[in-house]
Amino acid sequence: MKKLNRTEFLRSALALAGAGIGAAGLAACSNDNGYGGNPAPGPGDAGGGGLTNACDTHAPSDAIAGNHGHVLTVTAADATAAVDKAYDIMGTASHTHSVTITAAMFAMLETGAVITTTSTTSAGHSHGITVMCT
């Protein structure tokens, strides 16, 4: 059994935390999307129920599993635009990855859902990405 150094331990812990966030988001799902059998409102739809765009209320935040210097910045304007967007997440890392968030994923963010995706592979690895507006 290989002994982990501090950096390897922290990377593993962050990867598990990212996976846990994604699993928690999936576990929160139900057949009626939490709307008591009524259709879920569309993005930004007040629908008479007082619902607002979650990304207008809470700025998007993200978690990058196994992160080692990468940076992802998703803005509320990106979520509102709701079009496919590719992000370069190099940050201070020695290599880069790309992450694409689709229009459908942005629509989910606006309803308060947590979205998960995976970066491109570079330097022999990829990263799990979690984005939320809650």
In a domain, 100, yes or no: yes
Q: Tell me if 41 is assigned to some domain.
A: no
Is 124 among the domain residues? yes
Q: What's the whole-number mean pLDDT along residues 82-96?
A: 96
Reply yes or no on whether the pLDDT at 132 is more than 60. Answer: yes
Residue 110 within a domain? yes
Evaluate whether residue 46 is within a structural domain. Answer: no
> Does the pLDDT value for residue 17 go beyond 60?
no
Domain that holds residue 124: 6-35+51-132
Domain annotation covers residue 64 = yes
List, as own/partner pairs, every contact residues 69-74 make where C-beta atoms lie below 8 angstroms and the sequence separation is at least 24, other chains included.
69/93, 69/94, 70/97, 70/119, 70/127, 72/99, 72/129, 72/131, 74/101, 74/131
Query: Rounded CA gap, 83 and 107, in Å?
Result: 9
Task: Give SS3 for 37.
Answer: coil
What's the structural domain count of the chain? Answer: 1
Q: Which of 23-32, 45-54, 107-116 comes out lowest in average pLDDT?
A: 23-32
Percent of the chain at pLDDT > 90 equals 51
Residue 122 lies in a domain: yes
Query: Is the pLDDT at 119 greater than 70, yes or no?
Result: yes
Give me the pLDDT at residue 51, please.
54
Indicate whether 40 belongs to any domain. Answer: no
